[in-house]
Structure 1
Amino acid sequence: MPKIPYARISRFWGFKDKIKLVSGLNGRAYIVSSGRSLYILKRRPTGVAGFTMQRDFLSSLFHNGINVSLPVKNPAGLLEVRIGGFVYSLFTYIEGKKADMDISCATPEMAREIGLFTGRLHSALATLKDNAIQRRNLFMTLSTSLRFLTCQRGHLPYLDCERIEEFFGEFFSLYYRLPVQAIHGDYHPGNIIVNSGRVSGVIDFEYSCREVKVFDLSYLISSVLTEFKKMGSPSLALYLIPHLLEGYCLNNTLTTEERESIVYLLGAVLLNQVHFFLVRGYPEEAAFAESILEWVVDNRERINDKVGLTCSHSTSR
């Protein structure tokens, strides 16, 4: 991995104290310091597009009461610098740790807290002028994945395509009745920051888009389900769903159709992951995602039951 040119980055942002590495979050983001201040330093290959409306988008959320990691301008008003084959950008630091770093975060209390925050986040996102935000269509992506996997008959160890097509049979008409707005788009515990038992902020809006609102909640549930499946106890994730949705509905609403769609959205996320891993040559990862999808299909009624427990706090349209 190429070294990070901290001295040049420090000069670009006009820092008196040279930027120093505190810790690496992954191959794309790092916690760094300059003097007593902490920042998040991100880098991406020059061929990868950035989040073009990032500053205004994130500033609007911040002014609506959502603590987000804001891009830092240099003295000339620029947000990023190209050095070698990478583009570097700097963001403000949110105190706390990622929700996926400690299994003790996987409690009903934390699920409710994250639900409360997510409800507020979606309310703030709904106020944004989203005409510049790309509209995604999950159903079109799902259809592409289904066509691809139909050609893979005999290569999938857990599920047959007829069963998958039957599972998604009711989803088409349901999907187009779901409320659409600006969403986070990559809403998993690794992008949620917690501090002292409370959500202190949310990061990484690179995949923000206009999509069905309930997708963020479903993506979050699928991520938690995946982690519990790795531990061999996927059923434990089900007990968190009512608390998550109860918290959400105290700050927002879920229609009857949105609650009904969650099990299908879970399946769609997982099926698209199977497709993604197979295309990129990761058969073991694809098989694991497929095993979780099988679990979702097998436990469809249990999932719907847990989703239904939030009815008293939701509204129908």
Structure 2
Amino acid sequence: MEQAMEIAKLWFRNEHVTATVMQPKVAKVLCKNKEYILKRTGSIKQLLVEFDVLKQLYEKEIKVQKVVKTENDEQYVLYKEKYYCLYEYVAGSVLEIKDTNKLERLASTIGEEIANLHKALHSVNSDHELIKRDLYKIVFEWAIPILEKNEHAHREVIQKMERMHTAFKEMVHPLPRQIIHRDMHLSNVIFKDDKLEGFIDFEILENNVKIFDLCYCCTSVLSELFSDERLREKWLHIVSKVFEGYYKQNDLTKEELKAIWYVMLSIQIIFIAYFVQLPNLLKLNEEMFFWIFAKKEDIEEIIEGIVKV
């Protein structure tokens, strides 16, 4: 992010400010010994949805990043035809996924906190139009056609999805929908002393099937562990603890419990399509797809262990 300091000055006009670029669209800002996160955003429409939802979550006492207004009471600024916003920095750290002992210990807490977030999101009323996604259409009308056109995509991935086309539609269609975070990997869940400090990165909030967040959290953990067979074998236990914690705080319907394997596969299909031009990531996500596919009975068994379906 070029000129991060100059942009940050739009919030802190007469203060000494330092800015450190962390990613192309993200910088950490320091002013008066307090840290902030400066972001360049894309869609102003989606940004307004995010602000509206974050405000309501904060009022419901959910731990989320807080938007910082300018001296003119604006939630964002326009600088050289691009939109920027500032958030209070959520102090703490992300969990080290490969520290599976700690992850197993905190997995139930992660599930509980996602459940509490979902309950709050379910009661949010947004004045701004929220993006609505149809998971079935994303898989079969967006992702699969991309794979069919690409010579590098594994044909067996496509064949397996085509064979379960009808079952997938029947499983996904009745699932409860609501506002979800949509980017629920553990880099967006900040902990301090084994307690949640806050959820961050709500930029791609959308209306979708509720269990997408839970399944995405679990598959993102698998992607970090997958290359180490010893760690990979701990994944099912971590998944059971995440869902166990969630179920304590927020109900899951019979339909949701039966659809978890299908939604996990759908997430892998989305990533395979997304990374179709990047050989290493394509291969990883295809291998994860086949691995999850083969673990159907194991996944269903641990879910049944949480609650009798």
- Cα separation, 1, equivalents of 2:155 and 2:110: 32
Map 1:207-226; keep pairs closer than 5 Å: 207-226=204-223
The residue type paired with residue 74 of structure 1 is T
Instruction: Give deviations 1:247-281, integer Å, cap 9, x for gaps.
Output: 11111111111111111111111111111112xx2
1:65 paired residue among 57, 61, 66: 61
| Equivalent residue number for residue 103 of structure 1 | 99
TM-score for both structures, normalised by structure 1: 0.88
Instruction: Give the letter for the 1:299 counterpart.
Output: K
RMSD of the alignment, in Å?
Answer: 2.3
Look up the SS of the partner of 1:148 in the other structure: helix
Picking from 25, 37, 40, the partner of 1:28 is 25
Amino acid at match of 1:234: R
In structure 2, the partner of 1:297 is 293
Residues 115-194 of structure 1 mapped to structure 2, 5 A cutoff: 115-130=111-126, 132-144=129-141, 145-152=143-150, 155-157=152-154, 159-194=156-191
Q: 1:173 to 1:50 in 2, by over 3 A?
A: closer
**Could you say if the C-alpha distance between residues 25 and 8 of structure 1 is closer, same or farther in structure 2, counting changes exceeding 3 Å?**
closer
**What's the CA shift for 1:290?**
0.7
Identity of aligned residues (%): 24
Partner amino acid, structure 2, of 1:6? M
Q: In 2 relative to 1, CA 47–70 (structure 1 residues): closer, same or farther, beyond 3 Å?
A: closer
| 2:273 counterpart residue number | 275
- The aligned amino acid for 1:264 is Y
Q: Which consecutive residues of structure 2, in runs of 5 or more, have no partner in the other structure?
A: none
1:41 match: secondary structure:
strand
What code does the residue aligned with 1:156 have? A
Q: In 2, distance between residues paired with 1:266 and 1:199?
A: 25
Q: Secondary structure at the match of 2:248?
A: helix
On the 8 A contact 1:238/1:303 being kept in 2, the answer is: yes
2:227 maps to 1:202: no
CA–CA distance in structure 1, aligned partners of residues 166 and 187 of structure 2? 32
Stretch deviating more after TM superposition (298-307 or 212-221): 298-307
Question: Partners in 1 of 2:40 and 2:99 — Cα distance?
Answer: 29
Residue identity in the other structure for 2:2: K
Corresponding residue number in structure 2 for 1:112? 108
Give runs of aligned pairs for residues 243-262 of structure 1, distance below 5 A: 243-262=241-260
TM-aligned CA deviation for residue 107 of structure 1: 2.2
Shift of 1:41: 1.2
Offset of residue 54 of structure 1: 2.5
**1:168 Cα deviation (Å)?**
4.6
For 2:216 and 2:272, the matched residues in 1 are separated by 15
CA distance in structure 1 between the aligned counterparts of 2:59 and 2:38, rounded to whole angstroms: 23
Whole-angstrom CA distance in 2 between matches of 1:195 and 1:105? 17
Residues 173-208 of structure 1 deviation map (CA, whole Å, 9 limit, x = unaligned): 121111111111111101111110011110111111
Moved over 6 A (4+): 46-49
Structure 2 counterpart SS, 1:200 = strand
- The whole-number CA distance in structure 1 between the counterparts of 2:97 and 2:238 is 17
SS at match of 1:113: helix
Pair 1:29–1:230, CA change in 2 (3 A): farther
* Residue 87 (structure 2) pairs with residue 91 (structure 1): yes
Measure how far apart 1:135 and its partner are: 1.2
In structure 1, distance between residues paired with 2:165 and 2:297: 14
Q: CA deviation at 1:83?
A: 3.0
The answer to whether residue 236 in structure 2 is matched with residue 241 in structure 1 is no
Q: 1:226 to 1:184 in 2, by over 3 A?
A: same
Contiguous gaps of at least 5 residues in structure 1: none
Kept in 2, the 8 Å contact 1:226–1:234? The answer is no
- Distance in 2 between residues matched to 1:256 and 1:8, nearest whole Å: 50
Task: Determine the C-alpha separation between the residues in 2 that align with 1:303 and 1:221.
Answer: 11
- Which is further off, 170-179 or 104-113? 104-113
When the two structures are superposed, what TM-score results if normalisation uses the length of structure 2? 0.90
- Aligned match of 2:264: 266
| Structure 1 residues 125 and 48, CA gap change in structure 2 (3 angstroms) | closer
Give the CA deviation at 1:303: 1.4
